[in-house]
Amino acid sequence: MRLLPTLALAAALALPPVARAEEEVAVGLPAPGFTLRTLNPEESGAATVSLHRYVGAEAEDPEAKVVLLSFFASWCGPCKKEMPYLQQLNLMYRDQGLRVLSVNIDREEAGIAAGRKMASAARATFPVLTDRFNFLARRYLGEEARLPSVFLIARDGTIARIERGYGKDAAGFLLGEVQRALGLAAQTARAARAAE
């Protein structure tokens, strides 16, 4: 009865391929979409946030040009320093099209509460999201979650820049990358040359 294995193989080939648990995340590829609950709904003005609200063909926010997506945990020292700076970037560049989203990957209630306190201490008005079960973190960060990790996502929904566990000059790096993504770095350079 060689027909049975042949039928099984034909049936397996006819089925759509099983989606991989982890999509490849790399510069130039589409950013994995998500919808997550916010830890700061009063300050951010939203109970949940979806990436497709800001990027992609059917983006709902017509003013959004780039999303700065950062992953953090309450136990991460550099993340504690990053949160106030993300708020500063949000205030400085929101009107130019920057949308900041920060994702807390703590799993325990105490860590989530600490993440909420970090957002409150930084007076974060951008959405601070919770990924308690790390579904999104596994997609973006893989098995090694170096924190903080930052992804810049262009208006078309592709990843423009990735920094995992960036170093000491985080402020300069983030400022330069945000300005470049918004097209402001070129404007600043032209203005400086014109002033000479």
Q: What share of the chain is helix, strand, coil (3-state, %, to 5)?
A: 45, 20, 40
pLDDT band at 11 (very low <50, low <70, confident <90, very high): very low
Would you list the domain boundaries of the chain? Answer: 20-190
39 Cβ neighbours under 8 A, 6+ residues apart: 104, 112, 115, 116, 119, 128, 129, 130
Compute the mean pLDDT over every residue in the chain, rounded to the nearest whole number: 84
Tell me the pLDDT tens digit for each residue of 114-126: 999 999 999 999 9
SS3 (DSSP) at 58: coil
According to DSSP, the residues that pair with 50 across neighbouring strands are 35
Which residues, listed in sequence order, are joined to residue 153 by a DSSP beta bridge? Answer: 67, 159
Average pLDDT over residues 95-115: 96
Do the Cβ atoms of 170 and 78 come closer than 8 Å? yes
- Count of other CB atoms within 10 angstroms of residue 14: 7
> Domain 20-190: which topology?
Glutaredoxin (3.40.30)
Question: Hey, what are 103's tokens?
Answer: 């994702």
Q: What is the CA radius of gyration of the chain?
A: 20
With 80 as the cut, is the pLDDT of residue 22 above it? no
Query: Helix (H, G, I), strand (E, B), or coil: what is residue 67?
Result: strand
pLDDT digits (tens, 9 = 90+) for 133-149: 999 999 999 877 788 89
Average pLDDT in the 34-41 region? 96
Are the C-beta atoms of residues 34 and 136 closer than 8 Å to each other? Answer: yes
Pull the structure tokens for residue 12: 């397996």
- The amino acid at residue 10 is A
